[in-house]
Structure 1
Amino acid sequence: MLRAFLTFLFIVSLSVASLAQTKAKELFAAIHDNDARKVEQLLNEGADASAIMQMGPGAQFSALTMAINTSTFPIVKLLVEHKAQLEWKDWFKTTALMYAAGKGSPELVELLLAHGADVRADDGQGTTVLGAAQQSKNRKVIALIEAKLKE
């Protein structure tokens, strides 16, 4: 009886894990397609806003970093509002805020800072959020980061 119950629990856990992987794949596809409505639907159905995609040995990216690099503001906002991990670092040790600053997007930088992203994050190789902002050459982004660093 115990064996049957444990087998049942194992099968249920595999089904739940499979469903989670499917939702994550759907979420990444919707982000890739820049489909904010589908992203919102998936998040409301329980997709993990902090989902991680593995791309070969050691190469990973999060739903949030993918959205910052490939999608529009509404999708990034949805992920942040659904508690995406802001401080997760990819294989380059880069955070979402570093990507947003490097992209030169004041809207994304303001959103991430407003939700508590660490303005002092670095990649361990000398690149900081301010350095990423300076590489973007966007004066507004640089000013936002500099002001936050003074707080």
Structure 2
Amino acid sequence: MTILTVYDPAMCCSTGICGTDVDQRLVDLAADLDWLKAQGVRVQRFGLSREPAEFVANDTIRQIMKDSEGDDLPVFMVDGALKAKARYPGRAELASWTGLLVATPAVEGYVGDVAKTSSCCSPAKAASASPTGCCGGGAKAEPAKEKAGSCC
């Protein structure tokens, strides 16, 4: 089982989504972590103000804390390997770290950041698209660009 461990900076509560001025990144992260749990990923989340011993017990975290004086929190690790620090990753990035795919319903033919080969905007078709093809534009072919609700 994949284990995602999050080391949060000191916050007023376990998720940081309390009070009147809530950071939307923390709301999104809480939803994304719940989604990962539902997909079978084991999620551990430690807060500096509530579980300081967890920060001291991990050599990587202890070194990050020493080097940055805590400014590089949050830290994200998967199965003990450092994946990100000083930022909150989105669902697609979390999913890729844990071997999951994220469906992107707004763009037909895409699963996560990878196009299906049958899509007109797949890497193979985009590269070989004619200037008037679905992924090209005008007399000069341009790289495929996502548009909400359509292929290109």
Normalised TM-score (structure 1): 0.29
Higher helix proportion, which one? 1
Q: Max radius of gyration: which structure? A: 2
Instruction: Return the structure number with greater relative CO, CA threshold 8 A, min gap 6.
Output: 2
